[in-house]
Structure 1
Amino acid sequence: MRRTAIVDISNLERQRLVAVTTALFTHGSDDPELQHVWLHLEAVTILIRVAGDWTLRITPDEPRKSYTMPELGSRVDIVPAPAEVPFVRHVGERLVRVRERFDAEDPAQCVGAEFVFDTASVVARSFGGDLHLTGR
């Protein structure tokens, strides 16, 4: 199977999720939009994001600091994930497996991944260039 992730997905399995961090993009007075998610597992922290080519990327990475873009009237806040981020309800659980989903027309492009935990799963997907998360 071809992988677009830089991390070996199988190395994530059976690790406990200890925390979740997010990057929230805010423009002016608009509501914040989820941009990135970091899963802090026992042995590694991974970043889940949508790349410029609209593929879903899962890479080892650590959260950076919040920053502003005053010329655009925008900011990115790096914060502990709010309760509505579906990964949060799985903190303390083990990640059973990760199943990547690939584009039917271009099987080399990862467009989604299902993160299966002890009690349920979370699907991360790229849609229209944005990161979407759904709890199951």
Structure 2
Amino acid sequence: MKMVHERLIGVTVAQFVHEPDIPEVVDVWLLFESVTVGVMVAADWSFRIEPCVPGQSYVMEELGSRVDVISAPDDVPFVRHIGERLIRVVERFGGGVDGTEQVGAEFVFDSGTVIAESFGGDLLMSRG
């Protein structure tokens, strides 16, 4: 992947906001020195890592909700690695009929790891 060995310079997220619930991160974009990579769960619940740029914020009036595209808050695990190089990405497989569908990935930085995965159609992130 093009992002390996590059320095992470920023993290952007799309978060679903439905008052009074706590906003939920639904997509993440990792901004590296020469490429921006989306980490997300597709409509078919498959996990994706692909070059792309952040989308625009939008309102879903019929649901009384919105999606805000913003700089990632501090509780997004990738944020603590801004300024570090990505050492490697270890993809995780196991979904689908034959176990070959990508279900997540482990992002290894200089000072630690972030695990991102699809679970029930949601993007889950944790420190490794």
Q: Distance in 2 between matches of 1:23 and 1:106?
A: 31
How far residue 73 of structure 1 moved from its aligned partner, in angstroms, is 0.3
Matched, 1:110 2:102: yes
Q: Distance in 2 between matches of 1:29 and 1:84?
A: 19
> How many residue pairs align between the two structures?
127
Q: Distance in 2 between matches of 1:110 and 1:63?
A: 22
Q: Distance in 2 between matches of 1:42 and 1:64?
A: 19
Aligned counterpart for 2:50 among listed residues 42, 50, 59: 59
Greater alpha carbon shift after TM alignment, 60-69 vs 99-108: 99-108
Give the corresponding residue for 2:112: 120
Query: AA paired with 2:123?
Result: L
Query: AA paired with 1:130?
Result: D
Structure 1 stretches lacking a partner, 5+ long: 1-8
% identical aligned pairs: 54
Instruction: Provide the secondary structure at the position in 2 that maps to 1:12.
Output: coil
Q: Distance in 2 between matches of 1:53 and 1:61?
A: 18
Aligned counterpart for 1:47 among listed residues 35, 38, 44: 38
Aligned counterpart for 2:90 among listed residues 94, 99, 108: 99
RMSD after superposition: 1.1
Structure 2 stretches lacking a partner, 5+ long: none
Instruction: Provide the secondary structure at the position in 2 that maps to 1:89.
Output: helix
- CA displacement 1:39-59 (0-9 Å, x = unmatched): 001110000101122211011
Q: Distance in 1 between matches of 2:5 and 2:34?
A: 11
Which structure dedicates a bigger proportion of its chain to strand?
Answer: 2
Calculate the TM-score normalised by the size of structure 2: 0.94
Deviant stretches of 4+, over 2 Å: 104-108
